[in-house]
Amino acid sequence: MHNNTYLYIMYKIYLKPGKEESLKRFHPWVFSGAIARMDGEPEEGEVVEVYTAKKEFIAKGHFQIGSIAVRVLTFRQDETIDGGFWRQRLKVALDMRRSIGLVGRPDNNTYRLVHGEGDNLPGLVIDVYARTAVMQAHSAGMHLDRMAIADALAEVMKGEIDNIYYKSETTLPYKADLFPENGFLLGGSADNVATEYGLNFHIDWLKGQKTGFFVDQRENRALLERYARGRNVLNMFCYTGGFSVYAMRGGALSVHSVDSSAKAIDLTNKNIALNFPDDTRHTAYAEDAFKFLERMENGAYDLIVLDPPAFAKHRDALRNALQGYRKLNARAFEKIRPGGILFTFSCSQAVNKDQFRMAVFTAAAQSGRSVRILHQLTQPADHPVNIYHPEGEYLKGLVLYVE
């Protein structure tokens, strides 16, 4: 039970000696093992102050029970976490997208406005799809503050958006008893077609994965378009068919899309029809990727995309994940037509760039083919990496020329 002074109390967390080092370098997390003691018992999601063992203020952030105990919102003691704070952070995020030319383009209204730690808002993701912003909380604190954030978002994005959809049922720690409900916090439009670099997509923010679309592959899809002319394209793990639609525009001879989810195949077909009605170059297959690769003919394709789901969601699953990447890529190396191009990705945060490259290297060596790296890909600029939080770099890709 809280007494009525509750509103004025800021819980304090004291670190063990020396455990402030990473915070001094602006790393935005406090691990539970670094904590010596807490003043009082903060509820999950509350804002707490963090102090060194010498009782010096060092950071302020959202508290949560778990391995990451505090997600830092500010390193300044005089900054209060209120409407003004959310408005200021969102405005900085919008200004950045504007300055890199992603906002206000006639051919593009799809971008990530907030990318968690990359925008100094750990636990929060906001994607913009035409007139709708889809907001996702990955921490209890962002969930509890959702109304204040939505108010600030509506203000900062005035004129840009009319709707805010909140989608956190699957991204919050289920033990925290937060009972998140997906739904509109502002507006409520059912119009869900958004435009990315002149191509249109149905965005299923109600039931789709993540916020409904993989905004993070935009630049890589645009690169694929440049290589598609005259090629037979295979898009594995196609989800909404993003790479397939770009390949069609790039002038591919044929495009085959594969996903094990029938819903994804539906979406892909819809998105192809939306952009290329009556075009017969595209076929979609609801099938397991490994089975498809097993049965497909040698040399059937000379442009292959492998964009599987995160094989390693946690660090302990790393070995299996690397095996998965190796096997998957080995099949592609064995069967791609000579002179073919392979776009291969990993979006597992637990797998780093070198580990992924090693898995692909091993697969290439197994096939015995001559393979050159043409491009090394990563996430786009609207998914920025906070330099003090290198873990934020999660998307890795290689474009390979296979002789």
* 144 near ligand SAH (CB under 6 A): no
User: Of 86 and 237, which CB lies nearer to ligand SAH in the complex structure?
Assistant: 237
Burial 130-158 (b: 16+ CB within 10 A, else e): bbbbbbbbbbbbbbbbbeebbbbbbebbe
Number of residues that bind ligand SAH (CB under 6 A): 18
Which residue number, 227 or 243, has a Cβ lying nearer to ligand SAH?
Answer: 243
Q: Convert residues 301-340 into a mask of x (bound to ligand SAH by CB under 6 A) and - (unbound).
A: ------xxx-------------------------------
- Smallest CA-to-CA distance from 109 within 34, 177, 197 is with 197
Name the minimum Å distance from CB 271 to ligand SAH.
10
Q: How far is CA 109 from CA 91, 114, 126, 276, in A?
A: 17, 15, 14, 20
- Whether 260 and 287 have beta carbons less than 8 Å apart is answered as yes
- Report the residue number, 24 or 291, with the smaller CB distance to ligand SAH: 291
Q: How far is CA 77 from CA 56, 72, 116, in A?
A: 10, 12, 21
Largest Cα–Cα distance of the chain, in whole Å? 73
Rounded Cα–Cα distance for residues 306 and 234 (Å): 9
Neighbours of 115 (CB within 10 A): 24
| Only segment of 13-21, 84-92, 235-243, 313-321 that touches ligand SAH (CB under 6 A) | 235-243
Interacting residue with ligand SAH among 22, 108, 171, 261 (CB under 6 A): 261
If one asks whether residue 289 binds ligand SAH (CB under 6 A), the answer comes out as yes
Please select the residue that binds ligand SAH; options are 51, 227, 243, 285, rule is CB under 6 A.
243
Considering only 234, 264, 296, 399, the residue that binds ligand SAH (CB under 6 A) is: 264
For residue 18, the number of C-alpha atoms closer than 13 Å in the C-beta half-sphere is 1
For 144, phi then psi, to 5°, come to -65, -35
CB of 179: closest distance to ligand SAH in angstroms?
27
Nearer to ligand SAH, 37 or 291 (CB): 291
- Find all residues with CB under 8 Å of 316, minimum gap 6, and list them: none
Q: How far is the CB of 255 from ligand SAH (least distance, A)?
A: 13
List 63, 86, 201, 214, residue binding ligand SAH (CB under 6 A): 214
Least distance CB 289 / ligand SAH (angstroms): 3
Instruction: Yes or no: say if 167 and 182 are a contact pair by the CB < 8 Å rule.
Output: yes
How far is Cα 64 from Cα 165, in angstroms, rounded to an integer? 24
Q: Among 20, 259, 302, 382, which residue interacts with ligand SAH (rule: CB under 6 A)?
A: 259
Select 186 or 347, whichever has its Cβ closest to ligand SAH. 347
* Cβ at position 347, least distance to ligand SAH in Å: 8
Handedness of CA 317, 64, 58, 73 (dihedral sign): positive
| Contact residues: ligand SAH, CB under 6 A | 214, 217, 237-240, 242-243, 258-261, 264, 288-289, 307-309
